[in-house]
Amino acid sequence: MKQPQIARIEKGDVSPTWDTLSRIFGAVGAEVDVKVRVPGGKLVKV
């Protein structure tokens, strides 16, 4: 991924896909951890 593509994501000009986010985070050694909660606050397992 080239720097101009990263810049567009950082500026909010585009919404990255989960695949794109996974590639970016993987490149810097990070992970994505998503938690889903229902309106009452209860955590939902996905």
Phi/psi of residue 38, each to 5°? Answer: -80, 165
CB 21 within 8 A of CB 27: no
Find the radius of gyration of the CA atoms of the chain. 14
* pLDDT tens digits for range 15-46: 999 899 889 999 999 988 888 999 999 999 87
At residue 31, the pLDDT reads 84
Q: Is the predicted pLDDT of residue 4 greater than 80, yes or no? A: yes
Residue 9 is predicted with a pLDDT of 93
What tokens does 42 get? 């209860």
Provide the residue ranges of all domains of the chain, joining segments of one domain with +: 3-44
> What are the structure tokens assigned to 28, written together?
């810097």
